[in-house]
Amino acid sequence: MKEYLTLAQIQEDLRGGDLTCVKLVSHYLQNIEANQHLNAFVEVYADEAREAAIAVDEKIANGTAGRLAGMVIGLKDVLSHKGHGLQAGSQILNTYIAPYTATAVQRLLDEDAIVIGRQNCDEFAMGSSNENSSFGPVLNAADTSKVPGGSSGGSAVAVQAGLCHASLGSDTGGSVRQPAAFCGVIGVKPSYGRVSRYGLIAYASSFDCIGPITKSVADAALLIEIMAGADNFDSTVSVQEVPAYSENLEWSGKARIGYIRESVESEAIAPEIRQQTLEVLNRLRAEGHEVTPVEFPLLDSLLPTYYILTTAEASSNLSRFDGVRYGHRSAEATDLESLYKKTRTEAFGDEVRRRILLGTFVLSANYYDAYYTKAQRVRRLVREETSRFFDQFDFLISPVTPSTAFTIGEKTEDPLQMYLADIFTVQANVVGNPAVAVPNGSDENGMPIGIQIMAPYFGELKMLAFAQYLTELNEKSAVIFNTSH
């Protein structure tokens, strides 16, 4: 079967009779079976997906199919899907079955998307490499000795390797965009409050966002358009009207683009990424866009602020996993206190325990003002500085990551080096702005490189249109380069 870049291509063949959803699902199931070594899926809903495909084919035949007919998706193992397993990559939720479906997932199902399975991820979405899962690491399909990025690594690899057409991930500090860049696909983090978080297992509630991973900007735009909007189950989601993102992907006019000088010109960035990013900026200048380097005085404060606040929120959110109500319960417990301690020690992985301890420390009475309160103040300053930036510019462009995908095990012994993989992505989560990662070529070893576009709060409409424009511009430049060489 031919590979499809967009849902529109799939639906054209479905309408023409050259393809059925049953054939499409069978194709993906065969690919999953042939690529089990990638460890992208922790559970595959083979029979259920086939039944759903039959039902959607019937709807297509009688003209009642939804907008996502032909879309086969995978769900990161932090999204609730009623009647299915839900573990967040952790043994502490072993045997847990979701009692309801996440709003974002339900809205896709209502438009006839077909869910094919749940995907491997870093435990409780804590990680930048997908090495922290209790189900084992996910492997990058471009080079199986490399990580796929995290925490939505399984979701990115599934799209990269053609195991499903699209995936839903979650982005707390770059966990959709960073693996998308490592795997050469599209990853979108919407504005905080644009998509309901109801049914998403919380890591850090004021940072978490549900976002799509796709092979095209058009599909990402359509998925966000359908998922977004008010939800009675989530008081933090906006009631602001959802624009027709998928129908407004034509970019016109000249953009005002800023880039943080250190994010592009620093020697800490891999030479290939620095070169590719500068080439894109020069290409945009040549097209008549205003491209300006700027200083961002709080750049060094982004990661500390992010990790202080997210670990504090994680310490609180994960306190509910105690062996009393659901999931793993230690068989060695002798009283209530030992039940808590032994259950959490046995079932939480090293990285989750590390972040819970950090979060508990910064929330403790003696250190609350020194760390947590100060980090909240810095977060406000970062938000104000970012807002001033967008008074002058339409977009902030940067690399997604300082390096391409690194070797499995390379950074596991040095958490600080691992955390630095998020240096360019955390700003969007700290301030709540939307951002998208799009492919930007590859290094000399064929490992994908990504570039990030960040937009003003609730600026998805223009951001997605510009991402489509930039993707087409890069493709055109690649064709010219290949022709001339």
Among all residues, which ones are annotated catalytic?
Answer: 76, 151, 175
- Buried residues in 84-100 as b, exposed as e (16+ CB within 10 A): bebbbbbbbbeebebee
- How would you label 142-164 residue by residue, b for 16+ Cβ within 10 Å and e otherwise? beeebbbbbbbbbbbbbbbbbbb
Q: Report the chain's terminal Cα–Cα distance, integer Å.
A: 31
Instruction: Give Dmax over CA atoms of the chain in angstroms.
Output: 74
Dihedral sign computed on CA atoms, order 466, 468, 470, 473: negative
Three-state secondary structure call for residue 262: helix
- Rounded CA gap, 239 and 223, in Å? 18
Q: Which residues pair with 438 in a beta bridge?
A: 451
**Distant-in-sequence, close-in-space partners of 79: CB < 8 Å, separation ≥ 6:** 86, 102, 104, 105, 118, 168, 170, 199, 200, 201, 210
The Cβ of residue 269 has, within 10 Å, a number of other Cβ atoms equal to 21
Q: Is 191 exposed, middle or buried (0-12, 13-18, 19+ CB in 10 A)?
A: buried
Which structure tokens are listed for 79?
Answer: 């999204």
The DSSP bridge partners found for residue 291 are 257
Q: How far apart are CA 140 and CA 160, in angstroms?
A: 9
Nearest in space to 439 (alpha carbons), one of 191, 220, 168, 116: 220
Query: How many CB atoms within 10 Å of residue 217?
Result: 26
User: How far apart (Å, rounded) are the C-alpha atoms in residues 71 and 375?
Assistant: 41
Please give the Cα distance from 15 to 17 (Å, whole number): 6
Instruction: Check if the beta carbon of residue 190 is closer than 8 Å to that of residue 208.
Output: no
Q: How far is CA 447 from CA 183, 216, 470, in A?
A: 8, 19, 20
Instruction: Measure the CA–CA gap between 334 and 332, rounded to whole angstroms.
Output: 7
